[in-house]
Structure 1
Amino acid sequence: MSLPPQFSGHRISGKADAKHTLELYLDYVCPFSAKIWKQVYENVLPWLEQQHPGQVQVIFRNQIQPWHPSSTLVAEAALAVEQIDPAQFAPYSNALFVNQKSYFDEAVVDKTRTEQYKSLSALAATTSPSLSHDKVLSLLQIAPVSTAAEATNYGNKITNELKYHIKLGRQTGIHVSPTVLWDGIIENSISSGWTLEQWKEFFGNKL
């Protein structure tokens, strides 16, 4: 599956001309997504780049699960970061997974949308000097109106980017996270609980 230029940050390892593609459909507030991300980000990617350079590109795909309302807001924040500095998409994604419990249902049930945007922007500012709180927040925030008649329902400056990822997941037939694709086909054998050795065995049979 191709990756539009504006989402270049979603290629978290390898290059577009790699022989193989591993796609990870993940939700930032899904515990199992966090589990597979940690193993891949911390161990699998360095091993791949050292042992099989140029063989595999790894692409992160936003799988937004609406039964967790904050999933949309957290994904928006990651897309805002990518728009500002694509190189920070993966580090910020890692920060989101590390801090994912801050965005679980019970943690945000009494927080407004704007409060959550401010929290996400503050986290971004701790990730890189290129990601100022105000810069990220400016892409996320929505100005309130005095009356319902004034409302436009246009969303924020990230809404169109968000729509792309939702449409992609639906078109591809992805239902839950994590879901992993190998060369465009869903690979049901891959588990979020895999060790590095199991990942090595998988690639040993594929490369």
Structure 2
Amino acid sequence: MTDVLFHHSEQSFTWGSGDPVLEVFLEPTCPFSVLTFNKLPALLADAGKDHLQIKIRLQSQPWHMFSSIIVRYILAASTLVEGQAAVQAVMQSVADHREQFEFIDHCRGPNLHTTPEQLLKRLAAYSGVDVRDIFDQTNLQDLVKRQAKYARQNGIHVSPSFMVNGLLQPDMSSQDTVEEWMHKLGLG
């Protein structure tokens, strides 16, 4: 069951089907990850869906204090029949409403009074994807652990990080333009 869940979840995080394979490690509330995430559709459009494969990897980070809850929610969304669209909707809603999912300076502000249940309600309301009824599935822990293990095995510690065909790309950045990414990927 876990392998089936993992396979479906993996498909939900994959855009395009070509080569090269760009893996992007993102923490959903990180402003630099948001900048990266928002450029990915344009990158795929410019490259062509048959000429690039993008795989989103979730990189939970403890200084983003709601990170683990949001990552688990996104992973739950990835298991739905419409997983890819659900993942995109949840990640975009977090990107568009970061202030509702992040602390000021990672430690203060109105979100200090936010409970996990309130956070789940916000995620459902902003994204239109309600996975609260499956949020407590035990198998989701396996998906969370696989994301963390894969990042660690590849030396990924921060977001955003980029890998191309399995190799870390320290010269790629969220600050790059889509055109610069295309060039670095050998597509432009």
* TM exceeding 0.5: yes
After TM superposition, the structure 1 = structure 2 runs for residues 1-207 of structure 1, keeping only pairs within 5 Å, are 4-7=6-9, 8-11=11-14, 13-15=15-17, 18-41=18-41, 43-49=42-48, 53-84=49-80, 85-88=82-85, 89-105=87-103, 106-125=109-128, 131=129, 133=130, 136-140=131-135, 158-203=140-185, 205=186
Given that 1:77 and 1:121 are in contact with CA atoms closer than 8 Å, whether structure 2 keeps it comes out as no
Given that 1:10 and 1:61 are in contact with CA atoms closer than 8 Å, whether structure 2 keeps it comes out as yes
Shift of 1:34: 0.6
Deviations 1:25-71 (A, max 9, x none): 00001111111111222x2111111xxx5222100000000122201
Q: CA RMSD in A?
A: 2.0
> Hey, what's the Cα distance between the residues in 2 that align with 1:35 and 1:101?
15
What amino acid maps onto 1:123 in structure 2? Y
Shift of 1:110: 1.0
> Structure 1 length as normaliser, TM-score?
0.77
Question: Which consecutive segments of 4 or more residues in structure 1 shift more than 3 A?
Answer: none
> Structure 2 length as normaliser, TM-score?
0.84
Sequence identity percentage: 23
Q: What SS does the corresponding residue of 2:113 show, helix, strand or coil?
A: coil
Given that 2:21 and 2:54 are in contact with CA atoms closer than 8 Å, whether structure 1 keeps it comes out as yes
Deviations 1:64-110 (A, max 9, x none): 00122201111111111111221322233222212222111234211
Unaligned runs of at least 5 residues, structure 1: 126-130, 142-154
Q: What SS does the corresponding residue of 1:138 show, helix, strand or coil?
A: coil
Higher helix share: 1
> Hey, what's the Cα distance between the residues in 2 that align with 1:172 and 1:200?
23
> Hey, what's the Cα distance between the residues in 2 that align with 1:201 and 1:68?
32
Given that 1:139 and 1:157 are in contact with CA atoms closer than 8 Å, whether structure 2 keeps it comes out as no
